[in-house]
Amino acid sequence: MFPGFGTLVNASLILLGSFVGLRASRYIPTSLKDGAINAIGLFTLMLGVKLLYENKPETLKVFFTILIGSALGHLAKIEESLHELLKNRGGDSLSGFVSASVLFTVGPMTLLGCILEGTKGDSTLILSKAFMDGFSSIILSSSLGKSVAFSAFFVLIFQGSLTMLAFYLGSFLPKDSMSNALFVGGGLMLLTGAKILGLLERIKVLNFFPSLFISLLV
């Protein structure tokens, strides 16, 4: 198997799951959809807390990583640009795309899975994650609409970049970078969980994503 095979399967299953969720949406009561979304929001918050608790980062590095990554993301207007792209393609709310993108790409399975596939050619972990994401996309798309399907392309680019980074530079990555990246990821999951539950509206979570890449490199 080639580097990035697991990510390709991952993106494909998200597309498939989104298609199934959109088709099944009309048969699912609104109250059940709302309950499922609230459950996903709560679960995302809990995962964020878990990542923050379990990882001991280099505090100063993480602070500057978030500061620089956020500045780059806001200057590039990542979330705003994606919002325009979805709107031009007839997409619905950006919330489905943001929620799915963060849920599918932030966490230990993503980082460890991509690094294992890139450095050792072992796709087991990333393939396990792919099936979990495929199932989750059914629930998300049935409640949040077709913008969830677009997260498959974000997963393809983000995880593909991580895998290639590990493939070419795996032996040069700083020793503490994984812990720093997972800690930053935990913060992003907290923000996302709060947005899913309707507790935060103004914060543009995707504009913080450059912080994840930077935290792996410093």
- DSSP for 103-149? HHHSSHHHHHHHHHHHHH---HHHHHHHHHHHHHHHHHHHHH-THHH
Higher pLDDT, 172 or 34: 34
Per-residue model confidence (pLDDT) at position 99? 87
Q: Is the dihedral of CA 217, 64, 50, 156 positive or negative?
A: negative
Stretch 79-83: mean pLDDT: 84
Distance CA 73, CA 160 (A): 19
Answer yes or no: is pLDDT of 90 > 70.
Answer: no
Residues found in the chain? 218
Spell 95-115 as b/e; 16+ CB within 10 A means b: bbbbbbbbbbbbbbbbbebbb
How high is the mean pLDDT of the chain?
A: 89
Answer yes or no: is pLDDT of 33 > 70.
Answer: yes
Domain ranges of the chain: 5-217
| Residue 208 burial (CB count, 10 A) | 22
Per-residue model confidence (pLDDT) at position 34? 87
